[in-house]
Amino acid sequence: MRAEITWLPLRAEYAPWTVAIPEPPEWATVVHVNTWLHSRFLPKNLPIVATIHHSIHDPALRPYKGWLRAAYHRRWIAPNERRVLKQAAHVTAVSNYAAEIAKQTLCKVPIQVVYNGIEIEAFQPGDPTRKPGEPFRLLYVGSWKALKGVDLLAPIMRELGDGFILHYTGGPMAEKNKANMPANMQDLGRLDKDGVIRAMQTSDALLFPSRSEGFSLVVIEAMACGLPVICTRGSSFAEAIRDGETGILCRHEDIADFVKAAKKLKSNRESYLAYARSAREFASSSFSIEFMVRAYSDIYHSLA
């Protein structure tokens, strides 16, 4: 197998006519694209694999977009995605949830689910021992926006109190919210991959109250590091997390339910370690990058 990536400038998404159409290499037999790639750039004489990476057309997400972003998705991105999906020889999605939203809001074409994979060997558990009296260490990793449920973090931590601490990746975007945050929240700023791994290896659980995810890599990365995950019941989380085994799924917008889940993980060390072991085992057995590579390799060979 031979591969080459053609990078396009960002404006290719919203002003595609200003970007020259690249020519595929002579040896290419298959082209793999993101469904957001403008159909102008699709090669005419090669089979296309198109991957749906998101669930942004879910009507339930409208309140968290703002009118301009919502209009952009509805009037520009969605029509283009329909063209790409109809022209593709094979369509994949990163979760069953993403596939179902696409069928409901874009067009009904056959879609194969291929979960995103992670480097299991890079995301390793840290030292599970804890000092007596040390707070239970929660971690939030993600962009700072309402869709991710960041507005729920402060109320959750205020209810949890001194026995818990939350480290979060806020940075400049979180500055406006810090006046209303309790003392048990600490900003890690922006982290690179190694920084994320270190943060996971020194935490006890991932707190991720996102309202919707097409598929959340950070959840899989956290589980690979042996972290049980506390997140919202719904979207693709039910595919990534075994409720009561590798993490705890909480009711939508329910602060008390998130608080209860965190206290449950802290209250019984033996039970917590069972969650941690199961999280690592499930991530390793279901979401390794090798599984993803094998699935796409089979698709490429079938088309070529």
Q: What is the pLDDT of residue 278?
A: 97
Q: Is 156 in the same domain as 43?
A: no
Percent of the chain topping pLDDT 70: 100
Q: Is 181 in the same domain as 238?
A: yes
Q: Is 60 in the same domain as 31?
A: yes
Q: Is 282 in the same domain as 294?
A: no
What is the mean predicted confidence (pLDDT) over 14-25? 96
What is the chain's mean pLDDT, rounded? 95
Does 282 map to a domain?
yes
Give the pLDDT band (50/70/90) at residue 185. very high
Structure letter (DSSP) for residue 12: H
Q: Is 253 in the same domain as 298?
A: no
Kindly tell me if the per-residue pLDDT of 85 is higher than 80: yes
Q: What is the pLDDT of residue 20?
A: 96
118 and 283 in contact (C-beta within 8 Å)?
yes
Q: Is 271 in the same domain as 294?
A: no
Q: At what angle do helices 217-224 and 269-286 cross, to 10 degrees?
A: 120
Kindly tell me if the per-residue pLDDT of 133 is higher than 90: no
Cα angle, residue 74 at apex, residues 68 and 78 outer, rounded to 5°: 135
Q: What is the pLDDT of residue 127?
A: 83
Q: What is the pLDDT of residue 72?
A: 96
Q: What is the pLDDT of residue 223?
A: 98
Does 218 map to a domain?
yes
At 213-234, the pLDDT tens digits run: 999 999 999 999 999 999 999 9
Does 191 map to a domain?
yes
Kindly tell me if the per-residue pLDDT of 130 is higher than 80: no
Q: Is 280 in the same domain as 298?
A: no
Does 128 map to a domain?
no
**Which CATH number belongs to the domain containing residue 172 in this structure?**
3.40.50.2000
> What is the C-alpha to C-alpha distance for residues 70 and 57, in angstroms, rounded to an integer?
9
What is the mean predicted confidence (pLDDT) over 21-42? 96
Q: What is the pLDDT of residue 70?
A: 93
65 and 75 in contact (C-beta within 8 Å)?
no
At 254-296, the pLDDT tens digits run: 999 999 999 999 999 999 999 999 999 999 999 999 999 999 9
Q: What is the pLDDT of residue 75?
A: 96
Q: Is 69 in the same domain as 158?
A: no
Q: Is 107 in the same domain as 201?
A: no
What is the mean predicted confidence (pLDDT) over 110-125? 96
Q: Is 173 in the same domain as 242?
A: yes
Percent of the chain topping pLDDT 90: 93
Give the C-alpha distances (Å, rounded to integers) separating 192 from 117, 140, 281.
18, 14, 25
Kindly tell me if the per-residue pLDDT of 11 is higher than 90: yes
Does 80 map to a domain?
yes
Give the domain extent around 159.
136-286
Q: What is the pLDDT of residue 286?
A: 94
What is the mean predicted confidence (pLDDT) over 172-186? 95
Give the pLDDT band (50/70/90) at residue 157. very high
Q: What is the pLDDT of residue 190?
A: 93
Q: Is 146 in the same domain as 111?
A: no
What is the mean predicted confidence (pLDDT) over 125-147? 89
Does 124 map to a domain?
no
Q: What is the pLDDT of residue 60?
A: 86
Q: What is the pLDDT of residue 128?
A: 72
Q: What is the pLDDT of residue 304?
A: 84
Q: Is 253 in the same domain as 182?
A: yes
Residues 107-114: contacts with CB under 8 Å, at least 24 apart: 107/82, 109/85, 111/52, 112/295, 112/299, 114/51, 114/292, 114/295, 114/296, 114/299
Does 102 map to a domain?
yes
Q: What is the pLDDT of residue 66?
A: 87
Domain count of the fold of the chain: 2
Kindly tell me if the per-residue pLDDT of 50 is higher than 90: yes
> What is the C-alpha to C-alpha distance for residues 42 and 61, in angstroms, rounded to an integer?
29
Does 245 map to a domain?
yes
